Amino acid sequence: MGIREMALMIPLLPLIGFTINIFFGKQLPKSVGSWISTLALIASFGLVVSLWGPIGAEPLGLHLTIGEWFSSSWAHISFSFHIDQLTLIMLSIITGVGSLIHLYSQGYMHDDENQNTFFAYLNLFVFFMLLLVLGSNMLVTFIGWEGVGLCSYLLIGFWYKDHENNDAARKAFIINRIGDLGFLIAIFTCLIQFNTLEYSKINELAGGGMITTGLATMITLCLFFGATGKSAQIPLYTWLPDAMAGPTPVSALIHAATMVTAGIYLVVRLSSLFVLAPISLNLIFAVGVATALIAAIIGLRQNDIKKVLAYSTVSQLGFMFAAVGAGAFSSAIFHLGTHAFFKALLFLGAGSVIHAMSGEQDIRKMGGLTKALPITHFTFLIGTLTIIGFPPFAAFFSKDEILAMAYSKSVWMFFFLALTSVLTAIYMLRLYFLTFSNSFRGTDHQASHLHESPWTITVPLVLLALASMFSGVLGLPEVISDYHWLNSFLAPAIKVQQEGHVSHFFEYCLMGVSVVALIIIFILVRKWCSGEKALQVNNGFWAKAIDNKFYIDEAYDSLITQNFARISKWTNGVLESKLVDGLVNQVSLTTLLSGQTIRRIQSGSTGVYILSMVLGIITLLVFQYLSR
């Protein structure tokens, strides 16, 4: 089949998987349903890989129009896909990591009775995410955007019998929706100002200098607001730690590899618009750095294995946004890709640990798992080393690139990002040591159940570890190699030239200093975690503040949620019952009262009747006389 058909099948296969599982899931045996989903996704991945050849070389990419959506005299919106190099990278990540997670879920969700529904939701999620990145205009992206929000609600709240999960799912969905308002406003503005929503046309207009800075600033600020909702930046990040209530594969897929990257993708897609608005870029830079730093600080004192990883995700997303803000768009994509690998690896490893510990998630109760879970331990170690930026694993290169770009823009920001990297190292190593090293601190019941996970879980772990180790070669910095493969690959897709240049000397310094610092931190943290002090409860002021996530959730609650609740109570109690109901009741009361009053005319007294008759006749005569 031709390229077009193959491209069309890529999102269609997961959709078919979803349909089969949602309608027939209860009847199908568990293995059949889950394998249908997994194979659908692996087939999609295969299609993506086969598309690399033809499209990778094509500078313009492939445009596939499925149908005219609606058109009026001044705007045409079609339902169409556009596959270029940026899309290809995203597609590969989504389908590749996605299929590994599907495979993992077969082992992880094996005991769950609704397993087929889970796979249905997973497939639906992947379908929407694919729609998001495949869309050639903002509206198709928006469909995917909303769809992944919906699926994240379904998946986070999958174990719906526990009310906390439902609250977390609702929180995620609502906060996403708040961000979507920004996206919608940007869509409307684009439609009105540019009469089109196609990315290619908008990029053309932006590149041709037809868009004023003010307009670009407004649109990009709205888009960024939407991105903060999806990609969990300040101020809309509070949903992500709570979303860890969902099953671990969900955390891996949604919150590591795919959904949270949608914000970054959107910004990079419209990069030509963003460079026209330096205010927005500076804001994105600042917000990214701030988010990274604050999330790293909070992550230092978390004790739930998944919460640490959640804050780490927020922090790394902050890195990516900082890269975007510094104008380094393809660096952001680079880090997005490596992050997908190592974060998924870390989450899946955490899931394996939780599975082995019979559901325990507190790292203070773990420890000494090296012998019991060898493969999990080894892959988790690789993941940890990657995230802290240890050479030659992937994030060493991607993070260094971001740090370098940041330095070329602003020394202060670079300093904060470097501080964040240090904190990242500290908390990730703390996580690793507390989970795996020293002696086992759990209960005997858990100790008796410790076992390595089945192959469906360990194979994805190994594959992701390999990816984390070797994907760094895609973006080697200048000092090592003249050819930065990713930058040149993405150049036709991201039309903006990546500025930012640092001297070779600085690069060498950076690399050297980071390696040395990492080794020092490794030794220090290992020592710290082997002692008893690491497990103690610290009641100091700052410790308490960090433990409670700087009370941001409470602040949101009292400032926003309570006031909304008050408004709605007032509206219901006053407006609704007094005004609206009162009005309606008044009408009926008026009718009633007037009826009661008017019927007194029929008093029964004949004399009055006769009098009224005569008066009536007189009136008629008068009118007749007057109308002559």
Query: Is the Cβ of residue 209 or residue 607 nearer to other proteins in the bound state?
Result: 607
625 binds other proteins (CB under 8 A): yes
Query: Is the Cβ of residue 555 or residue 593 nearer to other proteins in the bound state?
Result: 593
Binding mask 33-52 for other proteins (x = CB under 8 A): --------------------
Judged on CB neighbours under 10 Å (0-12, 13-18, 19+), 620 is exposed
Reduced 3-state DSSP string for 425-482: HHHHHHHHHHHHCCCCCCCHHHHHHCCCCCHHHHHHHHHHHHHHHHHHHHHCCCCCCC
Sign (positive or negative) of CA dihedral 531, 343, 395, 370: positive
Work out how close the CB of 591 gets to other proteins at its nearest, in angstroms, rounded to a whole number.
Answer: 16
Query: Is the Cβ of residue 192 or residue 592 nearer to other proteins in the bound state?
Result: 592
Judged on CB neighbours under 10 Å (0-12, 13-18, 19+), 495 is middle
CA dihedral 319, 323, 326, 329 (to 10 degrees): -160
Query: Is the Cβ of residue 583 or residue 626 nearer to other proteins in the bound state?
Result: 626
Interaction residues for other proteins, span 560-599 (CB under 8 A): 599
394 touches 342 (CB < 8 A): yes
607 binds other proteins (CB under 8 A): yes
Query: Is the Cβ of residue 584 or residue 615 nearer to other proteins in the bound state?
Result: 615
- The alpha carbon of residue 207 and the mean position of all alpha carbons in its chain are separated, in whole angstroms, by 29
Work out how close the CB of 612 gets to other proteins at its nearest, in angstroms, rounded to a whole number.
Answer: 10
CA distance 9 to 50: 12
Query: Is the Cβ of residue 67 or residue 607 nearer to other proteins in the bound state?
Result: 607
Continuous H helices in 357-393: 374-387
| HSE-CB for 148 with a 13 A CA cutoff | 30
Query: Is the Cβ of residue 1 or residue 601 nearer to other proteins in the bound state?
Result: 601
Work out how close the CB of 601 gets to other proteins at its nearest, in angstroms, rounded to a whole number.
Answer: 9
Among 447, 497, 614, 616, which residue interacts with other proteins (rule: CB under 8 A)? 614
Report the 10 Å Cβ neighbour count for 551.
12
Tokens of 566: 């008050």
Work out how close the CB of 613 gets to other proteins at its nearest, in angstroms, rounded to a whole number.
Answer: 9
Judged on CB neighbours under 10 Å (0-12, 13-18, 19+), 110 is middle
Query: Is the Cβ of residue 575 or residue 610 nearer to other proteins in the bound state?
Result: 610
Residue 327 region by backbone torsions, left for phi larger than 0, else alpha for psi between -120 and 50, else beta: left
Interaction residues for other proteins, span 307-346 (CB under 8 A): none
Largest Cα–Cα separation, the chain: 118
Work out how close the CB of 593 gets to other proteins at its nearest, in angstroms, rounded to a whole number.
Answer: 15
Closest CA to 351 of 435, 437, 229, 226: 435
CA distance 583 to 121: 47
Work out how close the CB of 624 gets to other proteins at its nearest, in angstroms, rounded to a whole number.
Answer: 7
**Window of 29-37, 220-228, 348-356, 618-626 that interacts with other proteins by CB under 8 A:** 618-626
Count of residues engaged in binding other proteins, rule: CB under 8 A = 19
600 binds other proteins (CB under 8 A): yes
Among 242, 606, 616, 627, which residue interacts with other proteins (rule: CB under 8 A)? 606
Among 543, 589, 603, 616, which residue interacts with other proteins (rule: CB under 8 A)? 603
CA distance 202 to 194: 7
The residue count of the chain comes to 628
Query: Is the Cβ of residue 192 or residue 613 nearer to other proteins in the bound state?
Result: 613
Among 68, 610, 616, 627, which residue interacts with other proteins (rule: CB under 8 A)? 610
Query: Is the Cβ of residue 589 or residue 622 nearer to other proteins in the bound state?
Result: 622
208 binds other proteins (CB under 8 A): no
Query: Is the Cβ of residue 71 or residue 603 nearer to other proteins in the bound state?
Result: 603
Coil, helix or strand at residue 71: strand
Query: Is the Cβ of residue 192 or residue 614 nearer to other proteins in the bound state?
Result: 614
Work out how close the CB of 587 gets to other proteins at its nearest, in angstroms, rounded to a whole number.
Answer: 23
359 binds other proteins (CB under 8 A): no
318 touches 389 (CB < 8 A): no
**Window of 234-242, 360-368, 408-416, 614-622 that interacts with other proteins by CB under 8 A:** 614-622
Query: Is the Cβ of residue 539 or residue 605 nearer to other proteins in the bound state?
Result: 605
The string over 527-537, giving b where at least 16 C-beta atoms fall within 10 Å of a residue's C-beta and e elsewhere, is: eebeeeebeee
**Window of 96-104, 138-146, 566-574, 605-613 that interacts with other proteins by CB under 8 A:** 605-613
Closest CA to 293 of 415, 127, 163: 415
Work out how close the CB of 600 gets to other proteins at its nearest, in angstroms, rounded to a whole number.
Answer: 7
Coil, helix or strand at residue 21: helix
Tokens of 306: 């998944």
Among 27, 448, 597, 605, which residue interacts with other proteins (rule: CB under 8 A)? 605
Q: Which helix (H) or strand (E) holds 62?
A: strand 62-71
161 touches 149 (CB < 8 A): no
**Window of 59-67, 127-135, 249-257, 603-611 that interacts with other proteins by CB under 8 A:** 603-611
- The residues that touch other proteins, with contacts defined as CB under 8 A, are 599-600, 602-607, 610-611, 614-615, 617-618, 621-622, 624-625, 628
